[in-house]
Amino acid sequence: MKVLKFGGTSVGSPERMKKLLDIIQPEERQIVVLSAVSGTTNSLVEISRALSVGDKLLAEKLIKHLHEGYKQFIQELFTTEEGRSNGQELIDYHFDLIRSFNTSIFSPIEEKIILAQGELISTTLYHFYLTEIGVRSKLLPALDFMKIDEDNEPLIDFIGKHLKDLVLAASDHNLFITQGYICRNAFGEIDNLRRGGSDYTASLIGAAIRAEEVQIWTDIDGMHNNDPRIVKGTRPIANLTFNEAAELAYFGAKILHPQSVFPAQRYNIPVRLLNTMDPQAPGTLISEVAQHQDQVTSIAAKDGITAIRIQSSRMLLAYGFLRRVFEVFERYKTPIDMITTSEVAVSLSIDDTTNLKDIEAELLDFGTVSIDSDQTIICIVGDFGIHKHGYASRVLDAVKHIPLRMISYGGSDYNISVLLSTSDKVEALRSLHNRLF
């Protein structure tokens, strides 16, 4: 069975939604994962923000605007009276629910319920549309099988078991549709897999049912060798290994959710990145097989990084020092991205600053602590095995006019990373692109 995920722009208009049937073959057994209609989750975030600060007027204005947009959407999506009336009833139900939070207390629990409405709407609208045109499909509620634990880690076995039960119970269907992004947490509450999480949903489903292949359909012809929003002349990469794709996704290539490669990788399920606007384009195949050697493959950038330096005379010749430093981050459940050490200091970078104040207070026990925010990690992925030479110098040469905060090389065979001020990111990406490709 294949898993096909369509992102926000791929379902972004009634016309686009209808065109999905150029790609989906309804008679093939498959699970289709849909994102919310593009722009919807951003609007739901804004509505939640207004509600959380008690700005009821702004919240109502935003809700009304989004609701009106959907009224227009269903007029164009459906052609029969019955279809339109079902669509209308559906969106009214979801918007009544969103409005109901304007008169109640507002906590992160309510916020997550609001954020879930986009995918609940898009999938049901699409299912209704297929029904209207006589294509059989079965809606699988993601909230009945997609589950994470207290540490936000997905429970693959739970997901697999519950999903298989749902599919088995509807064994007279071939085409299954489900929501990306949304899930239940350890407390049974509605939660989500973070922004862009529909890719993660697709990979988790692929892993959980040991799918034949996961296809991520989006608005570009695969993973490009640099960020196409910033650099001109980028081109798609035909093949990536799981490790390369994971590094690029984790370090900012927006086409893939940061964690979305790992589930597929664990069960060796190929992932294809494909373009809904150009379905014939080959896209990118992510698999175990390395297709290119001795070259730089791609560049990505991740913003919002904070660098922390701990300077300590006690580090000198002391074993156990790094462990104690890491334990501080572990206690605050804060992942470390990059790390560089000297004999008297260690620098590391984090992107989750929720507990930075407490972390800093504990680190002060070790020595002097200095913190720099607004940093960007630039990650260069390629074939940099330990017997290769010249790559580090080419990378550093390309950014020699830019101050670097940290450099990381040798952590793996396929990644060189540099940390620099976000204000230098655009120049660094362009210069690296010109020099490396």
Q: Site residues (CB under 5 A) for Mg ion?
A: 7, 196
Q: Count the residues of the shown chain that bind ligand ASP, applying the rule CB under 6 A.
A: 12
Nearest distance, CB of residue 397 and ligand ASP, angstroms:
37
Residue 133: enclosing H or E segment and its boundaries? none
Cα 93 to Cα 324: distance, rounded to the nearest angstrom: 52
Stretch touching ligand ASP by CB under 6 A, among 62-70, 193-201, 288-296, 425-433? 193-201
Q: Counting contacts by CB under 6 A, is residue 206 touching ligand ASP?
A: no
Measured from the Cβ of residue 419, the count of other Cβ atoms closer than 10 Å reads 23
Q: Counting contacts by CB under 6 A, is residue 249 touching ligand ADP?
A: no
Amino acid identity at 207: A
Cα 272 to Cα 65: distance, rounded to the nearest angstrom: 36
Q: Counting contacts by CB under 6 A, is residue 196 touching ligand ADP?
A: yes
Stretch touching ligand ADP by CB under 6 A, among 248-256, 337-345, 384-392, 405-413? 248-256
Q: Counting contacts by CB under 6 A, is residue 36 touching ligand ASP?
A: yes
Structure tokens at 84: 């339109």
Stretch touching ligand ADP by CB under 6 A, among 6-14, 82-90, 135-143, 388-396? 6-14
Residue 265 C-alpha from the chain's centroid = 16
Nearest distance, CB of residue 322 and ligand ADP, angstroms:
33
Contact of 19 with 276, CB cutoff 8 Å: yes
Contact of 177 with 123, CB cutoff 8 Å: yes
Nearest distance, CB of residue 180 and Mg ion, angstroms:
9
Q: Counting contacts by CB under 6 A, is residue 12 touching ligand ASP?
A: no
Instruction: Select the binding partner of residue 84 from Mg ion, ligand ADP, ligand ASP, none (C-beta < 5 to 8 A, by kind).
Output: none
Cα 389 to Cα 1: distance, rounded to the nearest angstrom: 43
Q: Which is nearer to ligand ADP, 41 or 375 (CB)?
A: 41
3-class secondary-structure state, position 34: strand
Q: Which is nearer to ligand ASP, 29 or 67 (CB)?
A: 67
Q: Counting contacts by CB under 6 A, is residue 119 touching ligand ADP?
A: no
- DSSP letter for 103, please: G
Cα 348 to Cα 326: distance, rounded to the nearest angstrom: 10
Q: Which is nearer to ligand ADP, 127 or 433 (CB)?
A: 433
Instruction: Select the binding partner of residue 41 from ligand ADP, ligand ASP, Mg ion, none (C-beta < 5 to 8 A, by kind).
Output: ligand ASP
- Phi and psi for 61 in degrees, rounded to 5? -60, -45
- DSSP letter for 253, please: -
Contact of 329 with 336, CB cutoff 8 Å: yes
- What residues does 297 pair with on adjacent strands? none
Residues of this chain that bind ligand ADP (CB under 6 A): 7-10, 35, 196, 218-220, 223-224, 227-229, 253-255, 300
Residues of this chain that bind ligand ASP (CB under 6 A): 7-8, 35-36, 41, 118, 180-181, 195-198
